[in-house]
Amino acid sequence: MQVFTEDGTRIDARVNGRQHVNAVVLIHGFPFSASIWEAQADALAQDACVVCPDLRGAGKSSESEGPYLMETLAADVALLLDALGVERVSIAGHSMGGYVALAFARMFTERVARLALVPSRLRADTAKEARARWELADRIEREKSMAPVIESMLPRLFAPSTPAERPGVAERAYEIVARNAPGGAAAALRGMALRSSAEDIAEDLDVPMVMIAGARDATLTQAEAREIVGRFPRGRLVVCNESGHLPMMEEPQLVSTALHEWLSE
């Protein structure tokens, strides 16, 4: 399905399963698209209405003027849900998608039935991290290519063993990233650099919350994952032992099972 925002941006989403029943939104991270959720979308559609949006500037959605603030992306998700007639939803986000999910939870608290971070964090960027995002965004625009993102980010998102032992996973991830537009990627990077911390809202989200983390994630440590889960009244941690930062692709069945259990809470 497609919807159009007030500024004319086209937001594309894949909708699987039964409409209006146990609705769940799976939000992709950077620098990907909704395609990273293929296995989970198919598995969860047996019991739920699964909505997988391409965030603006990614996948089949169109670009708009950036930066893409997390609140803007969250409002795009709300527009999709309104078009579907879905009032309350379980929302899961991977990495940047987690930032969007948390922004959605701040803006539309009453619409959140459950929250999953797969994996993502609460804090804002440090000054060094934000500066690196701006520099990468500038380079992407200057070179008009996704190559800088592929070179600098993708290798460290996998568990060290994934490229050799599961080459199809790595190849699929590279393929998804290469299809994205450089302008949209640059706008998303700048939006992440500008985001606020979500640490203050965690204790007020009294809904089932799960963090699905990779034991071999070079981006989010297990210590940080446990600390984040501890901030939520009903948080719990699921560890994917053979995954890095992309457990939905590296251990898809385990992530699907964890999300099924989360949806049954």
Q: Are 60 and 28 in contact (CB under 8 A)?
A: no
Distance CA(109)–CA(95), nearest Å, equals 20
**Using 50, 70 and 90 to split pLDDT, how confident is the model at 22?**
confident
pLDDT at residue 124, rounded to an integer = 98
Go through the chain and tell me how many residues it has: 265
Terminal Cα distance for the chain, rounded:
28
Q: What is the rounded CA–CA span in Å between residue 243 and residue 250?
A: 6
Residue spans of the domains in the chain: they are 2-264
At 59-69, the pLDDT tens digits run 999 999 999 99
- Residue 168 and residue 166: Cα distance in Å, rounded? 5
- How confident is the model over 187-242, as pLDDT tens digits? 999 999 999 999 999 999 999 999 999 999 999 999 999 999 999 999 999 999 99
Which pTM was predicted? 0.97
| pLDDT tens-place string over residues 154-191 | 999 999 999 999 999 999 999 999 999 999 999 999 99
Place of tokens 């986000």: 93
- The answer to whether residue 20 scores a pLDDT higher than 70 is no
Tokens linked to 12: 């594309």
CATH topology of domain 2-264: Rossmann fold (3.40.50)
- Between the alpha carbon of residue 196 and those of residues 126, 180, 232, the distances in Å are 11, 25, 18
